[in-house]
Structure formats: structure tokens, C-alpha cells
Amino acid sequence: MSCEYYKIATVSAYNTKQIDNLLVFENDTIKVSYDFWDKRGAMRFSIYNKLNVPLYFDWKKSAFILNDEMMSYWQDETNTVGSSTSSASYLNGSVINGKSKSKSIRQERVAALPPHSLISSYKYSLVPVNTSLPIQEFTISDTPLRFRNYLAVSTSEQFDKAVFYIDNAFFVSSVEIIKASKVLSWVSGNAFYMSMPGH
């Protein structure tokens, strides 16, 4: 690591507990495990279906909420992925190139999770670029960063019955400085690191 010092932010939670270096929410239906460790933090989570029937997630009704600002996990858009191959052949002194192909991929609004299986998600960073966090300890009332993971879940693909919501809330409870050489010894699901300004 090129920086001499890094900031380490510790994350505290309301309705999750720490298990095997991760923050975990669990009930009879579902297990959601969080790992925020990344540069500037990451809303990275995995969901395990504990039932014997599929679970469905409505990504449009689900959101990452950062300091009260909602960011949906679903966007109504289609992405095009392309590939091409080329070869050179000569016909009457002219070069004929190869061919290309592309396909459109549309994100599904509703995702199905089969029984006793796992799905993972990582879409957002916790700390926007060019944003700094002060070095001190915080309470929920004075923290500079609080965030939630809000998930709409059902056992019905049409979401017409048995709909429930998971709302896991977190906040940064401390920020401190450490030497860059010590960063790896801090790796934890309930922490993340940031470069020091000017480094």
C-alpha cells in the first residue's frame, strides 16, 4: 500500500449480531450476512434461504439507504454486451474483416432464490468519492454516516401474499488512524478503510 496511514471506520448495528467476522441478521426464514470491508466500504451482503420453498426479492422495492437517501437495487435499463472476432482475407486486393455480435441483458426486477441456496449482492460504496470522515467516536445521534439495507421479500413471485420486509440499520461508530502496514490485521466485516486526504 502506497499510503503511510489509513483511516479505519468501525460499523455498529441495531438488529444484527457478529458471527465469524460478519454482521448477521437471521430469523426462521432467512439469513442475511454483511461484509463491509473494502476501500470506502461496501454494501456487500449475501442472503440464504432457509425454507423448503423459493423466496422472491423485489429489487425495485428494495433499497440501500445512505443518510436517508434511497438508492434502489433495480434500474429499468438494458445493458448490451458485445464481442467481435476478426480475420483478414483478401478478395480482389481488399481486406475483409471478421464479424461481431452482441446481446442485450435486462436486469430482472424480481429475483428467485431456490430453497437452501445463497445469493450475493454488491452494488454501492458506503462513502462517496471525495468524502472524508472525521477521526473520533460517534453515537447514533452524531454519526456522519448511517445506512440501511431494506429488502422486500415474499414466498409468492407475484408478491400478492406472504410479503415481509427486512430493514437492517447500521452506523459508523468510530474512525481512527492506523499505519498502512497494519490494515490487513484489521480486516473485518464490520469495518472498512479509507485513504488519508492528500495521500
pLDDT for the residue numbered 37: 96
| Mean pLDDT calculated for residue range 148-166 | 93
pLDDT for the residue numbered 52: 97
Residue type, 173: S
The HSE-up count of residue 187 (CA atoms within 13 Å, CB side) is 5
For 26-30, 42-46, 89-93, 162-166, which range has the lowest pLDDT when averaged over its residues? 89-93
* Residue 88 pLDDT > 50: no
* Residue 157 pLDDT > 50: yes
pLDDT for the residue numbered 129: 85
* Residue 2 pLDDT > 70: no
Q: What is the b/e burial string over 117-152, where b = at least 16 CB atoms within 10 angstroms of the residue's CB?
A: eeeebeebbbbeeeeebeeeebeeeebbbbbbbbbb
The distance from CA 18 to its chain's CA centroid, rounded to whole angstroms, is: 18
Residue type, 74: W
Q: Is the pTM of this model over 0.85?
A: no
Domain boundaries, the chain: 5-195
